[in-house]
A and B are shown apart, each in its own frame.
Chain A
Amino acid sequence: MQYLVSVIDDKSNPGSTDRQPAISAFNERLIAEGYWVFAGGLADTTAATVIDNRGEQAVFSDGPFVESKEYLAGVWVWEVPDLDVALKLATEASKVCDRKIEVRPFQ
């Protein structure tokens, strides 16, 4: 079962910026234990572009699809047996990243 694991940061109360070594170590463990599928940190939301080509012409707009205080700072994809395992890892991940984590199953 795969889960999208989102790291959520808060613009008005950002997590600490010195987490990279801890995150790397955590990633090593995810790989060693066979849970790791994918991981990536994201650039600032100001670097995002939204494309809407549902109409006649594609429309590009600068910025994220939703402006909010909280935003997606990075993602993982984990392959784990069930939600209990995902929640346990996510609980650790939240400490490691010093940020909130959302766990959402793929369909």
Chain B
Amino acid sequence: MSDVEEATTRAHHEEWAPGVAALARRFGDLDIAEEAAAEAFATAVERWPADGVPPNPGAWLTTTANRKAIDRIRRENKRDDKHKEAQMLHDNTPPEPLGAIDDDRLRLIFTCCHPALAMEARVALTLRMLGGLTVPEIARAFLVQETTLEQRITRAKAKIKAARIPYRVPSAEDLPARVSGVLAVLYLVFNEGYLATGPDTDPVRHDLTAEAIRLTRLIRALLPEDGEVAGLLALMLLTEARRTARVSASGELVTLDEQDRGAWDKALIVEGHRLVRERLAAAAAGVAPGRYQILAAINAVHTSAGDIRDTDWSQVVALYDQLVHLDSSPIVALNRAIAVAELDGPEVALAAVDRLEDKLAGYYAYHATRADLLRRLGQSQQSRAAYDKAIELAGNTAQTANLTRRRDQLR
């Protein structure tokens, strides 16, 4: 990559989200903000190789984007917007103090993840507006047509405008619920990256996991006191740390018990453990942990064990017990049963898993877990049938490969 290309990429990474956020505040319109930012970057790509990278790329992009936005407003030249336009051209507001830039981005996040928008629209909008991913990139990540995704974003922007979804950080009393909505979007993006679905996608989409981590780091910087933000970041880091060990050279998913723990990313683990310790200290001081913090703690137990045999399973089960209280979903119960198998044996675990059939019969992991437990109990025939069902339902290529091998190894 040439120096100019590198500078452009870096500027895109660093300046896109604050740029869009500042434009959205100034012009009060996400559509204008997005388009002006995109045009400014396109201009940079065109000009910088010839003119050289400006000394302050961020300021250059801001000025260019502002000019593009004003151009567009002039072009549209709406009758009743004349007055507003004149005001904008003579914007005498003093430059924003540094803290306000962060506030802009926070406002943007809360707008993009607003509960009045459909979940898929929130995800698309967040990746576009804050992540700076292009429409084709997001469409590819979620296996939808570009036109469908474009429509999704357009419709969401139109709703924000028509229904007057505010561009504002929610009030203190609403903040916890709204932050949890934002985290849900980021966790969904991360998970789609970590266990990508579809026959033609890579089993792990590093671009999505990296983007989710980057955005979660941003929220963490903006809301350093929020325990669940720290918890989600730790959870992502400790999961991402195992990424390279998770898929074999032949493209097969490697489960936790068979992973080469030496290949785990130590720096990410250290950072994740530090966050988990921070939250444990808060919990000791009486702050009840939320679900992301508990999930992070479970992952901290796993990543603390140098060998699968050193795993403190009683600790894992205790944490799942805590999680069950917060989240009664059958998937949590399934994961708890997997840990119980290590502590109390496969027979106890199988009984717990079988109780989930009503709710999870359509979920590959339910069948994969049963298959594994039945195999350990020596019930090969039933195990094979469960593997067949799991393979039929699994959407991830690496997972299918792993399940197929395990099935074929049954005697």
State the majority secondary structure of interface residues on B. loop
Contacts of A107 in B (CB 8 A): 162
**Smallest CB separation, B160 vs chain A (Å):** 9
Question: Would you list which residues of chain A between 82 and 99 have a CB under 8 Å from chain B?
Answer: 82-84, 87-88
Q: What are the interface flags for B152-165 relative to A under an 8 Å C-beta threshold, 1 for contact and 0 otherwise? A: 00000000001111
| From A81, A84, A88, residue with most partner B Cβ within 10 Å | A84
A50: interface (CB < 8 Å): no
Cα distance, A103 to B159, chains bound together (Å): 12
State the majority secondary structure of interface residues on A. mixed
Size of B's binding interface in residues, CB under 8 A: 11
Cα distance, A18 to B339, chains bound together (Å): 50
Q: What are the interface flags for B127-171 relative to A under an 8 Å C-beta threshold, 1 for contact and 0 otherwise? A: 000000000000000000000000000000000001111101010
Cα distance, A70 to B213, chains bound together (Å): 43
Contacts of A81 in B (CB 8 A): 166
B170 touches A84 (CB 8 A): yes
Contacts of A82 in B (CB 8 A): 164-166, 168
A105 touches B170 (CB 8 A): no
Q: List 20 A-B contacts (CB under 8 A).
A: A1-B164, A81-B166, A82-B164, A82-B165, A82-B166, A82-B168, A83-B114, A83-B116, A83-B163, A83-B164, A83-B165, A83-B166, A84-B168, A84-B170, A84-B174, A87-B115, A88-B174, A103-B163, A104-B163, A105-B164
With A82-B165, A82-B168 known, 12 other A-B pairs at CB within 8 A are A1-B164, A83-B114, A83-B116, A83-B163, A83-B164, A83-B165, A84-B165, A84-B170, A88-B174, A103-B163, A105-B163, A105-B164
Please list the 3 inter-chain residue pairs (A to B) with the smallest Cβ-Cβ separation, ordered nearest first.
A82-B166, A82-B164, A105-B163
